[in-house]
Amino acid sequence: MQGCFSSCNLHGNWIHVCVSCEGFPLTIQIALGKEHDRNHFVEVMENIKIKTDRRPRTRPSEILADSAYDEITIRKYLRRRAIKSNIPINIRNRKYPKRGRPTRLGYELYRKIASRYERLNVVFKGLIEMACFLMCWKRFQEKF
């Protein structure tokens, strides 16, 4: 598994996404913007189910996550499930934070989602899933 990504919109919702190594989204969860990321990390991890010939795979070998997930409870959870964690230390805990312009996603490609005019979470999640489908479709077209 590649990691978890969170993004906040103007209406106060967070998008928690777990992505595979190839960049394919595995789980998507929408939560209130007032809540901390650590509250939804376990739920996102529990929703991972990759279909195989036998039973579905639910435990990734390694997690790469944002520094917002740098919490003792999350690290204990990953240690208990024997998942290797590659979560950087939170920037507020560093002595000298890094400076510079942050990298951005392609906002022009998903302008409808970036503006976030939807009032219902169901419609908003549908647009997010549609954007994930389009990203996966582009990946498959590049390979074939």
| Tens-level pLDDT at each residue, the chain (144 residues) | 344 444 554 456 778 888 888 778 888 888 877 777 778 888 888 888 888 888 888 888 888 887 878 888 888 999 999 988 888 887 666 666 556 544 445 555 555 555 456 667 777 788 888 888 888 888 788 776
Number of domains present in the structure of the chain: 1
Q: Identify any residues that bridge with 25 across adjacent strands, giving them in sequence order.
A: 19
Sheet holding 13-19: strands in order across?
25-32, 13-19, 3-8, 62-65, 84-86
Residue with tokens 């906040």: 8
* Reported pTM: 0.61
Range of the domain at 32: 3-143
Nearest to 64 by CA among 107, 17, 97, 110: 17
Contact 67, 90 (CB under 8 A): yes
> Can you give the CATH number for the domain in which 28 is found?
3.30.420
Q: Give the DSSP H/E element, type plus range, for residue 28.
A: strand 25-32
